[in-house]
Amino acid sequence: MNPTVDEVGLRPALVIFDCDGVLVDSEPISLACLTAGLNRIGVDIDVETVRARFAGTAMPSIMQHVARDYGIAAPEGFVEAVKAETLRAFDAELRAMAGASEAIAALDLPRCVASSSDPVRLGHSLGLTGLLPLFEGRVFSSVEVARGKPFPDLFLHAAARMGFAPESCLVVEDSVPGVTAARAAGMRVVGFTGGGHWGHDPLGADLTAAGAERVVCDYPALVRIIAGAQAP
């Protein structure tokens, strides 16, 4: 059994936040846009299946899975169209996760973002919700590494760029691929189920099964976990 944050009792040197579903409540919006796009090109899939299979996964990997499992190759311009539709939906609906801004601003630890989203979407999401100043210059995208989540490359890249050893990092993640990637990187992980896409399972059993040491559903609980991990 993996040790919990409290059992380890070590102050993390760096907190790495996923973006979608952790900092911003974007997953219900983006998953709905992706589902609608896949349906348009003949992929018979519903939003819950898209959530279970693709949440936290970069678009290139998603399209590889669709081609392999459904036998449908996306037409030219499909990914770009879905991304544009998603950004338009963000403009109308996207919100920061409740309590995120205040909690992160008060966090007395180095922090960064490591996300499967591309840099344009990351900048758009964090800028739109007012969170970008909290992470300026410390936002890392899966396009910067050879392999996205569930491989450890992105988290290792973020830690290296920030100048910290993997074992000293604490990751906050909302998806199974993200938790898997963090554990493969040798990092501790707290699962987060405060996003709208987690209404089916606020306890996050699949995040625990993937290796999350604790699962929390809001920022006050997350702050308590990190504060406990800060104890000398």
Three-state DSSP class for residue 104 = helix
The helix or strand, by DSSP H or E, that contains position 195, with its residue range, turns out to be: none
* Beta-carbon contacts of residue 7 (< 8 Å; ≥ 6 apart): none
How far is Cα 159 from Cα 166, in angstroms, rounded to an integer?
Answer: 6
Catalytic residue among 6, 18, 44, 46: 18
91 is an active site residue: no
How far is Cα 119 from Cα 40, in angstroms, rounded to an integer?
Answer: 26
How far is Cα 156 from Cα 168, in angstroms, rounded to an integer?
Answer: 11
Q: Closest Cα partner for 216 from 30, 22, 53?
A: 22
* Beta-carbon contacts of residue 92 (< 8 Å; ≥ 6 apart): none
How far is Cα 43 from Cα 50, in angstroms, rounded to an integer?
Answer: 11
Alpha helices in the chain (DSSP H): 5-8, 27-40, 47-54, 59-70, 78-93, 100-105, 119-128, 153-162, 176-184, 205-210, 219-229
Which residues are annotated as catalytic?
Answer: 18
